[in-house]
Amino acid sequence: MEMELSLEQYETLLKLVYMGDWVISTLQAKDRSEDEPDTDSRFADVVRHVFSQAEHAGLGNIVQIDQNNGEPYLTREFEEESGLVDILEDYEDEVFWQALIERLAHRDFLRHYGETAISQMAIEERIEKETPFHDKWAQEFHENGLENLKI
């Protein structure tokens, strides 16, 4: 299968592959010990292939080859200048706040109604009754960040 991309499209593809690889690598690192190899090389194979074609596509200036292991990677300058670092930082920030809100809202929902009562609710009722807890935490963090959280 051959795919034709403009220079701009290929650069965008490099960015997308980089971000996808970053997410997968983060998850894989969390799930394995330091001395354990990657459990799924399918992702790494695709990253390697897409990055290794950058020179041929006319974007060799943004991909380099690691002299130690021969693996292609995006240059640090490109990562920073292309906005990739900012996108990933914004993504991490958004995921953090959404996960925190969802977990605290669900915790409070469980405490308020109890597992038995919740298990007997229709999905629409669950959503309706859990939403105020979500809204409360979303408002709290929007107004105060982590300032009021205490243990």
Give the pLDDT of the chain (151 residues) as one tens digit per residue. 778 899 999 999 999 999 999 999 888 776 655 555 555 688 889 999 999 999 888 998 999 989 999 899 999 999 889 999 999 999 999 999 999 999 999 999 999 999 999 999 999 999 999 999 999 999 999 999 999 999 8
Q: What is the total residue count of the chain?
A: 151
Q: Say if residues 63 and 75 touch (Cβ distance below 8 Å).
A: yes
d(CA 17, CA 11): 10
Q: Say if residues 54 and 63 touch (Cβ distance below 8 Å).
A: yes
Whole-model pTM above 0.95? no
d(CA 9, CA 5): 6
Q: Say if residues 73 and 51 touch (Cβ distance below 8 Å).
A: yes
pLDDT, one tens digit per residue, over 47-78 is 999 999 998 889 989 999 899 998 999 999 99
